[in-house]
Amino acid sequence: MDPLSDAIRKSGAGAFVMYASSRDADMRYLTRFTTSDPFVYFKKPGQNGVIIISQMETGRASRESPSAIMTRAEAGLPELLKTEKDPLMATAKMIAGQAGDRILVPPQFPVGLAQALGEVCTVTVDKGTVPSLRAKKTKPEIVLMRVVQKVTEGAMGKAVALIRASKPKRGILYSNGEPLTAEQVKYTMHCHLLEHGCTAVDTIVSCGEDTAIPHMTGAGPLKADEPIVIDLFPVNEKSGYYADMTRTVVKGKPSREIREMYDALREAKQIGTARVKSGVPAPEVHQAVVDFFAERGYESDTRGFVHNLGHGVGLQVHEQPTVGPAGKKLMAGNVITIEPGLYYPGTGGVRLEDIGAVTAKGFDTFTQFSEELVL
């Protein structure tokens, strides 16, 4: 089966075309070639894809990419630039010359280039074929993601150990005689990630009142007796694959409300993971957790449980499938998170997040890390 070829045929186009750098997850997936400069990829039905790149990149591309390789000179771009004042139009004519006069492009295709292409060929926008392909991981992809998750847990362990070893003083946690800050915890985790070929941005280490805002990244001194939410989602620089996990800890004595919220949270995560299986509609998994929280007296609206139960992970930290009301049936090979959370301004927030693969039998959890609340 070749779903991308099927999509091309169904659209009436002669080829699928992308123009992006490898920072675009779809481009990296299709080409396995990494570069910060944008380049052209095209594929005709039943044929292998072709990438059009500069001469200086051909050696590396031939090692990294399974696609056929064509230089810009071979595709005729230098000659077109002699007569075309607009580089976008020259690029459009180069693409049309290689891919044909009817092309299918992804939704994120650059609008300026699409307008230029519209003057020389017929352009149709795809409905998301490549993200759908990416949603179902192969065994080698799952192996790569397990590796990233193991590194992620190592970094999380460093963070938890640092907080555990801290000493409370007038409501603030201290480490080596200085206030322990969110920035220091992030730095400790990021150093571990770098040592193992991974990087992370927007890492969350929030504390106290800030934990009631799900994606508050956190800053400043950490507090004793208050929830600390640590959400880490690094990428392996070589493979491009992500992991994702969240833990909530308290150094000291949590409030009764936080402890009760956390107890409910752990049970909610178990309920969610127990319902994951190939063929099960994702909205049903999400709703099971909503119903459980309602039984415990927690809302699922503007406060309480305010987000989807989970999401797909792969070459992006958030990708298909959605584990929420807008989701579809889960498929074997999906790699998803299960991450219930409860958030109450004035009280704080708690969240737990595991990652794993959907199988015919259930949820193959990659995460093997303690859910200990009190340190």
The residue to which tokens 């060929």 are assigned: 121
Strand 122-125 relative to strand 102-105, pairing: parallel
29-79 pLDDT, tens digit each: 999 999 999 999 999 999 999 999 999 999 999 999 999 999 999 999 999
Domain boundary among 82, 106, 134: 134
Q: Do 147 and 239 share a structural domain? A: yes
d(CA 277, CA 272): 10
291-349 pLDDT, tens digit each: 999 999 999 999 999 999 999 999 999 999 999 999 999 999 999 999 999 999 999 99
User: DSSP assignment, residue 17?
Assistant: E
Total domains in the chain come to 2
| CATH at 25 | 3.40.350.10
Provide the whole-model pTM. 0.95
Q: Do 80 and 67 share a structural domain? A: yes
3-state helix, strand, coil in the chain (%, to 5): 40, 25, 35
Q: Do 175 and 147 share a structural domain? A: yes
State what percent of residues in the chain have pLDDT above 70.
100
φ/ψ of 208, rounded to 5, equals 65, -130
Q: Do 245 and 297 share a structural domain? A: yes
Q: Do 121 and 19 share a structural domain? A: yes
State what percent of residues in the chain have pLDDT above 90.
99
Q: Do 250 and 115 share a structural domain? A: no
Residue 137 · residue 220 · CB < 8 Å = no
More confident residue, 8 or 85: 8
27 token code pair: 């481009």
141 token code pair: 């992809």
Q: Do 65 and 29 share a structural domain? A: yes
Q: Do 105 and 158 share a structural domain? A: no
User: DSSP assignment, residue 252?
Assistant: S
Is position 375 within any domain? no
Residue 1 confidence (pLDDT): 62
375 token code pair: 């340190």
Is position 231 within any domain? yes
| CATH at 224 | 3.90.230.10
In this prediction, residues 172-195 reach a mean pLDDT of: 98
Domain assignment of residue 180, given as a range: 136-365
200-247 pLDDT, tens digit each: 999 999 999 999 999 999 999 999 999 999 999 999 999 999 999 999
Within the chain, residue ranges assigned H as helices are 3-11, 25-31, 58-64, 77-83, 87-99, 111-118, 129-135, 139-165, 182-195, 256-275, 282-295
Q: For the chain, give the mean pLDDT.
A: 97
Q: Do 327 and 182 share a structural domain? A: yes
Q: Do 174 and 215 share a structural domain? A: yes
Which CA distances in Å does 374 have to 121, 224, 256, 341?
Answer: 63, 11, 12, 17
Which CA distances in Å does 242 have to 143, 144, 191?
Answer: 12, 9, 17
Asked if residue 234 has a cis previous peptide bond (ω within 30° of 0), the answer is no
Q: Do 89 and 168 share a structural domain? A: no
Q: Do 106 and 28 share a structural domain? A: yes
Domain boundary among 113, 134, 155: 134
Q: Does residue 273 surpass a pLDDT of 80? A: yes
Strand 354-358 relative to strand 227-232, pairing: unpaired
